[in-house]
Structure 1
Amino acid sequence: VSLVYFDVLVDPRNGDVYVVGDDPTIHHAVSHDGGATFSDYTRVDEAYAVYYSDYSIGQLGRIVVAGGGMDLETSVWNVDADAWSRGPGGQPVESERASAAIDAADHIHVISVAMGAVTLSSSTDSGATYSSVPVASGSEADIAPSTFVVGAPVIYNDEGVIRYAFVPNPPALAPR
């Protein structure tokens, strides 16, 4: 398998190691022994393909995949049930300009850049729907895996100056 974009993720619950990547069809392998050995790569249904992908794993065994060539694409993999779901598209994104994270409340956050605007899209329903808010102007952005905080820590490039923003979950997204 020749993967263009990939990541290595460790499930915080059990230490399983996942190698997930795309070509743009998503492939994955898993290690149940701390990375000493891996399963063969499994090819995921092309319906869940994501271009220029970024990956993050949450505390409840879900991996979010975000990316896109022109429109933001997201897929979510529940590793326990080996079940995939596809999120809605439509948010503009430039190639290689999307990044994903899952916070401590198990909410999915995706940061994307298009036409100089940095936008945060968040989901409380496992990626079925997203609400989006503008964060800043910038040419590049990344979101930090936030398994110990509730909200979205974001860094972005504002005309050559690296800036940081923390976007807390609005009351509708706050944990109950």
Structure 2
Amino acid sequence: AALATRHPSLVTFLGMIPNFEPEEILPKLAALVRPQDFLLFSANLAPGADYAAGMKKIFPQYDNALTRDWLMAFLLNLGVENGDGELRFTIETGAAHLQRVLARFHFTRDCRIAVETEEFKFRSSESIQLFFSYRYTPELVQKNLARHGLTVRAQWLTKSAEEAVFLCQQV
């Protein structure tokens, strides 16, 4: 235990931030980072200076045939049929004023899904959320981390500015 407290640690969290609610994951990550430690994590970004325009630019990465097939495989394996409803993608404001892409299956007829001993009933007007992915900007990363006592020490953006890696420490 003494060895663990003497040396700095690098906490990594790569490829996962977009699929967690910020108010759930950021406090947990901050709690792992001691004053001498570093946090290295990646985030999906909305490129450009205009957040809304950046979200529209990346939207086709989600709303496409391959992603639809991938998300529908889950429901199809549970007995839902394509004719039971419609998969819709939207951009919405989620937690911490962050934009996210959301995929929901909207039932157009009553449907029952059984998972082992659990049964879920959906009416024709209901929907089930299948996926979400938050998109940040470098400034929004800094702002959200600061609320949890972390600061960005370095950042590396891809050429497209659609993804980045951030090296962080306690403030």
TM-score normalised by structure 1 residue count: 0.21
Largest Rg, 1 or 2: 2
**Which gives a bigger RCO, structure 1 or 2 (Cα 8 Å, sep 6+)?**
2
Higher helix share: 2
